[in-house]
Amino acid sequence: MEGTVFTPALQEIEHVKSDQGEILSKPFLDACKHILPVIDKFGAAMALVKSDIGGNISRLETMYSSNPTRFNYLYSLVQVEVETKTAKSSSSCTNGLLWLTRAMDFLVALFRNLIEHEDWPMSQACTDSYNKTLKKWHGWLASSSFTVVMKLAPDRKKFMDVIGGTGNISADIEKFCTTFSPLLEENHKFLVRTNISWIVFMLKNERKMTLI
């Protein structure tokens, strides 16, 4: 491949913000979508993570596509549900954005571990990232399931070779984490301002997915 597997996501991130500094729906969702091929390289260990991220992207994309002009800005997808009092639904875009953001938090933490702890095996990098991000939102069953699937994590060196392509993989991972993390932080701050995080937290036990 030309560049690394992160190249498409990095290119998309450049277009995520409007001239006014607001996060645009389509570029943000496309940037998340471009990370799915990276998750693919983890194989079975990340199959459910990929499925859940992909499902939340599709949910948000469906709402966006229903009226691209109205939902040009990412947070408009949530605001309309707050206004119509549908944000509490487990199938809402509000729920989708929160869990998509949390899942991307996990991946960013994992990618950072891969470049900051070169001596760690893949399973340790994954487990540490999970403990720092998603674990606090999960019950015992989901946490136990994660521990089991991490045994399927690929060999670290082989994984890095596969995603490296012809580019500088360490530099691209660092750039992705540096540029994407602030977007996730903006999402969290917005959800807190709209008092959404605690509402969706109450719904976490109703989620059907095993891991996220």
The overall average pLDDT reported for the chain is 88
Nearest to 104 by CA among 172, 183, 161, 25: 183
Mean pLDDT of 68-90: 93
> Looking at the predicted structure, is the pLDDT value of residue 195 above 80?
no
Mean pLDDT of 177-203: 81
Rg (C-alpha) for the chain, rounded Å, is 17
Q: Which fold has domain 6-204?
A: Glycolipid transfer protein, GLTP (1.10.3520)
How many whole angstroms from its chain centre is CA 69? Answer: 24
The set of long-range contacts for 196-202, using a CB threshold of 8 Å and a minimum separation of 24, is 196/78, 196/82, 196/87, 196/94, 196/98, 197/98, 199/87, 199/88, 199/94, 200/88, 200/94, 200/95, 200/98, 200/99, 201/137
Q: What is the pTM of this model?
A: 0.89
